[in-house]
């Protein structure tokens, strides 16, 4: 996962209206894919220049333009001019380190949010900024690199002649946002398995290695919180936004998004509490183990105090000590010391001190 975004020195003082890429280049070239559809037909094409986009401006159909790669400043300028998008909006698109946000402009709605994907082979989470520009009959999505996260939505458009084809660009944006939140839930499900395994291991053996595992999980959950919690603000803002670009009939779906993202944040908070409890359990286990060790050492010390006293008395170099010349003195001293040790052990056992 990414960490706190760092502003590059060359980006300091740039105008918010300047179309300059301010992120990390994640693809060699920009890829553009267009899907146009209505209730009956679906057309899909890969395009290489904005000149081809001039043919995709039919108000009778819904057009979804997906752009992978944000570094082509000339392309962004052409898109701004072709679709009458303010340059400050596209400037925000080209700055993937910006906090997720929602902004309405004259002829559309701008939404920026973080998408998380779990890499199965490497076991890592990739963070990508995704931007949406939604207009009356056009939805443009911007991704930092090529990916297949939105393929389920494309398949629904290709195969189903139902709601997704007839409910407008606001419903299409809902479907894409729903995919992003579903990915949040999937990733949290993977972390739930990890946390359960750590809990089981902690109960069986609270060793020093488990502390490093808990702290690593805690750090990863903190990173997830930093990406997911701002997304909740975006969804809540969209649900409450007084705009004509989201139809009244589709607002119920944005309420569903709100419920899902709230559940996601509640799970994150639960993970925080669980890891905090595990740290407390670990430290309690270590304290209990240390107390057990100190109890055993104390018992041995207490037992040997009188024995040491006896040995010390008979180790003195006085000339007149009758027991030193007694034939059975050695055995008697040993017997007395054994009896004292057994009596003290029995007393400690009766008091349940160990």
Give the Cα separation of 91 and 95 in Å (integer). Answer: 7
pLDDT tens digits, one per residue of 58-92: 788 999 999 999 988 899 999 999 999 999 999 99
Q: Are 35 and 43 in contact (CB under 8 A)?
A: yes
Position 5 pLDDT exceeds 60: no
pLDDT tens digits, one per residue of 112-127: 999 998 887 777 888 9
Mean pLDDT (whole number) for 301-323? 81
pLDDT tens digits, one per residue of 19-66: 888 878 888 889 999 999 988 889 999 998 888 888 887 788 999 999
Q: How, if at all, do strands 138-143 and 62-68 pair? A: parallel
Q: What dihedral do alpha carbons 289, 295, 296, 300 form, nearest 10°?
A: 160
Q: What is the mean pLDDT of the chain?
A: 86
Supply the pLDDT for residue 108: 92
Supply the pLDDT for residue 131: 96
Q: Say whether pTM exceeds 0.75.
A: yes
Q: Are 10 and 126 in contact (CB under 8 A)?
A: no
Supply the pLDDT for residue 7: 59
Q: What are phi and psi of 2, to 5 degrees?
A: -75, 160
Quick one: fold of 289-350? Methane Monooxygenase Hydroxylase; Chain G, domain 1 (1.20.58)
Quick one: fold of 9-284? Beta Polymerase; domain 2 (3.30.460)
Which sequence spans correspond to the domains of the chain? 9-284, 289-350
Position 280 pLDDT exceeds 90: no
pLDDT tens digits, one per residue of 330-354: 888 888 889 988 888 888 888 777 6
pLDDT band at 211 (very low <50, low <70, confident <90, very high): confident
Q: How, if at all, do strands 101-105 and 138-143 pair? A: unpaired
């Amino acid at each position: 996962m990414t960490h706190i975004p760092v502003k590059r020195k060359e980006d300091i003082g740039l105008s918010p209206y300047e179309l300059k890429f301010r992120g990390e280049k994640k693809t060699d070239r920009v890829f553009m894919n267009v899907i146009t559809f209505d209730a009956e037909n679906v057309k899909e094409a890969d395009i290489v220049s904005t000149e081809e986009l001039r043919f995709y401006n039919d108000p009778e159909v819904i057009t979804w333009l997906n752009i992978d790669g944000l570094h082509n400043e000339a392309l962004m300028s052409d898109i701004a001019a072709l679709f009458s998008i303010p340059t400050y909006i596209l400037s925000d698109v080209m700055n993937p380190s910006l906090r997720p946000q929602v902004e309405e402009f004259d002829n559309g709605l701008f939404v920026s949010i973080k998408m998380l994907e779990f890499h199965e082979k490497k076991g890592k989470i990739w963070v990508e900024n995704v931007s949406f520009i939604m207009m009356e009959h056009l939805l443009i999505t911007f991704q930092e690199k090529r990916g297949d996260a939105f393929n389920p939505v494309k398949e629904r458009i290709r195969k189903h002649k139902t709601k997704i084809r007839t409910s407008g660009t606001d419903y299409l944006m809902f479907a894409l946002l729903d995919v992003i939140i579903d990915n949040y839930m999937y990733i949290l499900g993977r972390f739930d398995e990890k946390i359960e395994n750590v809990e089981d291991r902690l109960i069986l053996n609270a060793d020093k290695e488990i502390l490093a595992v808990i702290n690593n999980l805690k750090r990863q959950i903190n990173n997830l919180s930093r990406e997911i919690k701002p997304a909740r603000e975006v969804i809540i803002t969209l649900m409450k936004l007084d705009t004509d670009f989201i139809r009244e009939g589709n607002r119920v779906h944005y309420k569903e998004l709100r419920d899902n993202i709230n559940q996601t944040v509640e799970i994150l908070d639960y993970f925080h509490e669980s890891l905090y409890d595990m740290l407390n359990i670990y430290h309690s286990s270590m304290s209990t183990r240390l107390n057990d060790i100190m109890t055993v050492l104390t018992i041995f010390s207490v037992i040997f105090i009188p024995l040491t006293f006896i040995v010390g008395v008979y180790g003195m170099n006085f000339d007149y000590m009758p027991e030193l010349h007694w034939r059975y003195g050695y055995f008697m001293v040993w017997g007395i010391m054994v009896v004292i040790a057994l009596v003290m052990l029995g007393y400690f056992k009766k008091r349940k001190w160990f």
